[in-house]
Chains A and B, each alone.
Chain A
Amino acid sequence: MADEVTLTIDGMSVAVPRGSTVRAACEAALVSIPTLCWHSNLEPANACRACVVEVKGSRALVASCSRVAEEGMDVQTASDRVRNSRKVVAELLLSTSDADLAPDLLHLAEISGADKNRFAGGATWQQPVKDDNSLYIRDLSKCILCYRCVEACGEDAQNTFAISVAGRGFNAHIDAGFGRELPESDCVFCGNCVAVCPTGALIGKTEWTLRQNGQWDEDRISQTETICSYCGVGCELNLHVLENRIVKVNSPMDHPVTHGMLCVKGRYGYEFAQAGE
């Protein structure tokens, strides 16, 4: 059909709508591709190289998250080159960043057989947490520069453009402009960056504090989907409740109203519901 392309993935033929990415084609073929920076609701940033695959005739490995599938493409997702590349990506990130709250990175390390100590002893991104506002914490020791927060703050969701990547090479880091603290920046505290962060580098202050005190216990946290009580947009809120207190709010990424995005009132303005108790 004219609006479809057919390609081969690990020897298996699959037809996908024209314009689909190679990653989406792999998904259609039930071949799992690891990702770090890719996010269902954001434009691909091509930052992490976790999703690389080998395309016959292409000199370099290609990022499947953004490469558009073409008619007749022959894709290998688990060749030695691909596996080695993913393994090194995981090993390099683990040598610089704290992956404690990064399930996707830990998964990548596991499936690629990465040795987390291979590059140990070199420079790291270890640094004090940035605790400059009452709503969320920036722990850049955990940041892997996936760009998701930048995309969510910018044209993929929030359109505020408060943060970007500053510096070059190993000094590259997420910055709110001239090294300013968040309250002095253009940040409006919607927390959409927090919602898409895959490593816990951006984390709600309440969750962070509970974790610091050893009180964050996933098994004891209930999650209930309900609707925000502020304006008339009707955003679905997923209320995380621990010991009868709301401790975190997010929204399902597949919700037709929110696409997982909220404003500051929806994400953080819940204290009134439990005031005075």
Chain B
Amino acid sequence: MGLTAVFGSGAGTSSYDDFHQTAFILLVGSNAAEAHPIIFHHIMKGVRSGAELVVIDPRRTLTAQKAHEHVQIAVGSDIALVNAMAHVIIRDQLYHKDFIAHATVGFEAFAAQVANWTPARAAAVTGIPADRIESLAKRYAAAPCAMIAWTLGITEHHNAVDNVRALINLALLCGNVGRPGAGLNPLRGQNNVQGGGDMGALPGRLPGFQDVTDPDVRRKFEQAWGTKIHATPGFDQTQMFRAMEDGQLKGLYVIGENPAQSDANSQHVQHLLQSLDALVVQDIFLTATAALADVVLPAHVSFAESEGTYTNSERRVQRVRAARNAPGEARDDLWITASLARAMGHPWPILDARQLFDEMRHLTVNYRGMTYERLEALHGMQWPVYDETHPGSPVLHDRLWRPETGPKAPFAVVEWEPPVEHTTLEYPFVLTTGRRLPFFNTGVQSNLYEHPHNIGEWLEIHPDDAAKLDIADGGLVSVQSPRGRVELPAHYSLAVTPGTVFMSFHFPDDVMTNDLTIDATDPQSGTAEFKAAAVRLAPLKVQEASTRKEA
């Protein structure tokens, strides 16, 4: 979202190989060693070649332990830190003056605003001493090229887009975009998040991020598809739930998602799903969401039986091939969706994945030069690929360094806001959530293999906090937020600081973490603040736990 606003396309600007050749890597809100292990492999190749690695994260994760410096900031204080870094870089004249003059707009307003963000002020917000902020800013600015990468620690906040814009500001300030070894990279959490966006699975976009409100764009697709396209963007997920609350949205068709367990404040979500007139769920498993459905369309086809493409975090479009036969009468998602349209009276042709891809690429400049043959021969291709002789694009936005820059990149004035929910005497701890290496999301895929470290869900708590509350290592605790309550074992951990606790959301059938999380969402991206909820903790005795579970 932030990247689209600044550069025109919502995608990482670099390649994984750029980590090998950069001088400085700033990882923000990303536990890549656990959540993106093979990107971490690329990052560590860069470190081995001499890059400095700085990890900004409230937890001392596996990733943070490998960094030259771990900046253990308070949850949700990223903008304060990044604005103060910009403050130092501007104050000491360390920014890239030529690049800013040539390729950006809005520098003066930005500089005026971060003038207020002294390192001393940011220190009070982030918990990081001012001299460390000064030093970090100077090292980032001094690096001949630097990469910034982030994950959900940046985007799962109520001010997600502002967080991203703050990081983009920092890169623009030092000219760290559009050239090798320098860039801005959201590490995508799910295998085809990038591909979904690329294909227009966004309310206001058609394939290739083409704007649905643009009449020329609509005309092109209307001609190809022989149908009228609404000029008004639809709802994003957050808006859909709001429309359900208002009784405006009464039917929902869910394909391969499990919002009943994956969305924040899940009891409320489940209530909304139950209140629909019609809920249709298409999935390979009878998920918690499917269990609420009026109609379940059993796809019965996993990635291992599917044909098509996925697009990864470096915009690499790669072929997905069927390795095994699906059972019995199983049908893939394409067939189900097209057949549903036909049953509703629309004469959609039943296309296979390649036919569909060919139709799409002729309507989508970024994908135009990709054919299945090229994708297979080249281990995938990085968009944009303008024609069938184009080699693909490892680095985006190099136009910013050319005489004709095209649209200039705007700085944004972004102000720090604390997480929506504050700790109080009643709820004195910050709960932050994330992934653990062996598992994935709500466990639909990852809980079916036998991992030696699978002990279910647990709460990470600092031993000092545990001692105050008389919580034993491995002892059962209750965790209560204003929205819900769960019980689970607590384990001592030095990864969290006192006052902060951590849980994953991989075992929702046993521990419904998202009963606790807050559905405060970013108004622009619609992402919820999974990373910060206020909770209280209490130790439980075993018999107490079982009786209270009944109640």
Q: Which residues of A contact B (CB under 8 A)?
A: 133-135, 155, 157-159, 182-183, 188-190, 222, 224-236, 239, 241, 244-246, 252, 255-259, 261-266, 268-275, 277
- One of B90-98, B116-124, B220-228, B308-316 contacting the partner: B308-316
- One of B32-40, B80-88, B168-176, B425-433 contacting the partner: B32-40
Q: What 17 new A-B contacts, CB under 8 Å, besides A234-B310, A264-B437, A277-B327?
A: A135-B450, A189-B453, A226-B322, A227-B318, A229-B445, A231-B35, A232-B194, A233-B36, A233-B313, A234-B312, A235-B38, A236-B318, A236-B379, A239-B304, A257-B379, A269-B440, A272-B302
Q: In the bound complex, how far is the Cα of B189 from the Cα of A269, in angstroms?
A: 16
Listed from nearest, the 5 A-B pairs whose CB atoms lie closest are: A234-B312, A232-B188, A224-B323, A263-B37, A229-B303
A261 in complex: contacting residue of B38, B193, B445, B452, CB < 8 Å: B38
CB <8 Å contact, B191 and A229: yes
A228 in complex: contacting residue of B191, B323, B439, CB < 8 Å: B191
Q: Which residues of B contact A (CB under 8 A)?
A: 16-17, 33, 35-41, 44, 48, 66, 187-194, 284-285, 302-305, 310-314, 316, 318-325, 327, 379-380, 437-440, 444-446, 448-453
Q: Which residues of A have CB within 8 Å of B445?
A: 229-230, 265, 269, 272
Which DSSP category, helix, strand, loop or mixed, fits chain A's interface? Answer: loop
- B38 CB, min distance to chain A CBs, angstroms: 5
Q: Which residues of B have CB within 8 Å of A134?
A: 450-452
CB <8 Å contact, A268 and B449: yes
B41 in complex: contacting residue of A225, A226, A229, A259, CB < 8 Å: A259
CB <8 Å contact, A269 and B446: yes
Q: In the bound complex, how far is the Cα of B192 from the Cα of A226, in angstroms?
A: 13
Q: Which residues of B have CB within 8 Å of A274?
A: 304, 324
Q: Which residues of B have CB within 8 Å of A226?
A: 303-304, 319-323
- B60 CB, min distance to chain A CBs, angstroms: 16
For A242, the closest partner residue in chain B by CB is B324
CB <8 Å contact, A234 and B449: no
CB <8 Å contact, B33 and A159: yes
Q: Which residues of A have CB within 8 Å of B16?
A: 256-257
For B325, the closest partner residue in chain A by CB is A244
Q: Which residues of A have CB within 8 Å of B36?
A: 231-233
Q: In the bound complex, how far is the Cα of B187 from the Cα of A257, in angstroms?
A: 13
Q: Which residues of B have CB within 8 Å of A225?
A: 319, 321
B312 in complex: contacting residue of A158, A183, A233, A246, CB < 8 Å: A233
CB <8 Å contact, A239 and B38: no
CB <8 Å contact, B316 and A234: yes
Q: In the bound complex, how far is the Cα of B316 from the Cα of A231, in angstroms?
A: 14
Q: In the bound complex, how far is the Cα of B304 from the Cα of A244, in angstroms?
A: 10
- B506 CB, min distance to chain A CBs, angstroms: 11
For A255, the closest partner residue in chain B by CB is B379
Q: Are A232 and B187 also in contact (CB < 8 A) when A155-B44, A269-B446 are?
A: yes
Q: Which residues of A have CB within 8 Å of B192?
A: 232
CB <8 Å contact, A271 and B448: yes
Q: Which residues of A have CB within 8 Å of B319?
A: 225-227
For B305, the closest partner residue in chain A by CB is A273
Q: Which residues of B have CB within 8 Å of A272?
A: 284-285, 302, 444-446, 448-449
Q: Are A227 and B449 also in contact (CB < 8 A) when A222-B323, A277-B327 are?
A: no
Q: In the bound complex, how far is the Cα of B454 from the Cα of A135, in angstroms?
A: 13
Q: Are A231 and B321 also in contact (CB < 8 A) when A271-B448, A272-B445, A273-B303 are?
A: no
- B97 CB, min distance to chain A CBs, angstroms: 35
8 contacts between A and B (CB under 8 A): A229-B303, A234-B313, A245-B324, A256-B17, A257-B16, A261-B38, A263-B37, A272-B302
